[in-house]
Structure 1
């Protein structure tokens, strides 16, 4: 009987060097955009590595279509609390007529800014180009090469083959902590019990009868009542993947965005976004759920009978995979208790949003008049590796803390701080950064540090 080999040995090879930089950022979502722009503006030769051919992260590739966590209540007034690079990005999106006015929800406890994804892509290109950032699209992080406690080079897979990129400092804004994992940084995945925040495949619906749909569903989605009625009136006909579905109009109310799916693995737990087999199966499952949900919309919801699906997001929307273990882990009580930190780098204004099995569980800060918390510098700094920072949803947080700070507002904050610090690292250690000096730079660049 022949035993099948389960591993193969790849021969050693020499890698061409793509280039030498001061700062290399991996991932072009909100954290990566803010990091790359900030590093370049502070004089660093900066490269941003992105797996797709466009920027925006889950906001474009995942079809999220809104910035969450930019606005929160301070002294009882809903106000924009996340400032800095994001202001320039919003202005550029608005220049393409692609930015909606703020939309309040949950009884006025949350506020989002929705946008057109194509306008976002164009605006992000212009923002990074104006800052002097070099971009390498269609490239995956594949490995790192070490020099003691430092990363000497990042290895990437490209259409030109496997290449190495050298830099003084690296920022992992991949969302999945890919670079940190390759570098041996300790991390956790999901909730630690084989599940996590459930993913969603987003889609957009066009050709809607806007007056009828708006009267029936409203600006901030009363779709769940229609779902409950359909289940009662047609037992067994519809099977919805979750409660708390969200259906909202875009700037043009003839087009709506749908956040209604929930992706499980074969065991019924949250799909693991860093497992290749589960990710592939999840893409199929997301589109299956979209097809079923769209039939419900056309049959049961006023205004949607003449509609058509105009876009399915390029990939399933991932909320949580790896989270590194850093010098501090942002946790549940930090969100609910509106924590303040001496080493603050900016603010998080989003509550805990736990996408659990079949439902969404919200938990808001106890101080409703001041419903935000500081984000500490230490959550970006890994316990190992001297010249690496991790920004965005894969930074150092607990499962519950991450459910809040993973929103785009917190990611912009983390990215701007990471890029600003990385620009002047040289041969130093991120654990030894002078936080007071960093804070002065962030304040000068328009970041709100709650002073």
Structure 2
């Protein structure tokens, strides 16, 4: 293993794999570091049951590497009869179910085929930096501690860990320092799919199992402390993934709190399985097949970048001359404490766009203030809390990751001395278009600079 690279990517979730693949395909000697044994982040590590929307109902907003991963997942995948139960989806694209065991080898192949070097079971523990330039990162794994150098670094840790170590400014949570609740997603097996689909068609049931949930609430049998089931997807014959259950008062940067949260989430699983058995026809004999190896985290650090994307930008459907991605998901803030649930559900409902609408994500949101060779992608980009609740969705993370990796490659082609904040965004947008990323023609855009 060498210790010098053009680009080092920290974190192997959706943004990380997209960043690494993009950098490597654009000719960079690239390393991706992941502390687990596989890629995928929340899709595999937390077993989130489906990808969020790729489209706004009209345009394919998430193209490029993100779309390539989706298409690979669909090849030979389970054709779920439940898949089309959301009326606002584009068939075959939006809310596609994730079989985590199929996704893992797909990501392995795409990352290694790009020429990127992979380091699993390894965490970034420290940085050497000077005057806003990161010179090296310290990592720890089975081989002990070692230092790795690169021209450019991309933080795709989800928590902005690398940026924080390097001294970048960041924000966290709401005014009280609270973040959204976490969820331990799980998989249920032993489902009679034919009986379940008869029930779905008869009762008009949806992916949130709203009909069953409301009945259980009236009976006083819905799991304690919960307001709704966030989502269910049939992932294989007889197998479903569920985004169900919340752990409140979460502190995802505190390992003591996070340890307790993991155990609390597992304690709730039997009650959720019992609800499914009692109230969802076809699931009378379902069993818990597995739970996510890691609690699903929705929110932690948000870096302070060259521009902060805001709730007002969402409302204005803002576009920007340096937009490197577009998205349209509603503002989906899960409650930090149970009493916020109703207010946040109303915000989600009221913030939905009409088909064909979207907002732009400026490149400046990926570059931390004062940092010269560091980009951040994924849910930690520069956005206010409300806007983060839209841009955090995995589909959008693919897009910001691909933009960060491509920008780093442009820097490498300039000899590695170019600050990432000085990348020619016109050229970057051109390169992204060439990589089948959706980029609007906004030369006369009113978007703010």
What does residue range 345-424 of structure 1 map to in structure 2 within 5 Å? Answer: 345-356=324-335, 357-358=337-338, 359=341, 361=345, 362-363=348-349, 368-424=354-410
C-alpha contact 1:336 1:366 (8 A) present in aligned 2: no
What does residue range 28-427 of structure 1 map to in structure 2 within 5 Å? Answer: 28-73=12-57, 77=58, 79-97=59-77, 103=83, 107-108=87-88, 111-217=94-200, 220-221=206-207, 223-233=209-219, 235=220, 238-264=222-248, 269=249, 271-356=250-335, 357-358=337-338, 359=341, 361=345, 362-363=348-349, 368-425=354-411, 426-427=416-417
Q: CA deviation at 1:213?
A: 2.2
Cα 1:247–1:151 shift into 2, 3 Å: closer
C-alpha contact 1:190 1:320 (8 A) present in aligned 2: yes
Gap runs ≥5 in structure 1: 1-16
Distance 2:82 2:196 in 1: 20
C-alpha contact 1:205 1:311 (8 A) present in aligned 2: yes
Q: CA deviation at 1:214?
A: 2.5
C-alpha contact 2:86 2:207 (8 A) present in aligned 1: no
C-alpha contact 1:221 1:247 (8 A) present in aligned 2: yes
C-alpha contact 2:60 2:438 (8 A) present in aligned 1: no
Q: CA deviation at 1:159?
A: 1.3
Q: CA deviation at 1:71?
A: 1.5
Distance 1:91 1:101 in 2: 18
Distance 1:103 1:350 in 2: 18
2:410 is paired with a residue of what secondary structure? coil
Q: CA deviation at 1:44?
A: 0.4
CA RMSD between the two structures: 2.1
Of the structure 1 ranges 79-88 and 374-383, higher mean CA displacement relative to structure 2 is found in 79-88
Cα 1:430–1:61 shift into 2, 3 Å: same
TM-score by length of 1: 0.89
Cα 1:418–1:116 shift into 2, 3 Å: same
Q: CA deviation at 1:115?
A: 2.2
Q: CA deviation at 1:18?
A: 5.4
Gap runs ≥5 in structure 2: 442-449
Q: CA deviation at 1:109?
A: 6.7
Distance 2:435 2:283 in 1: 45
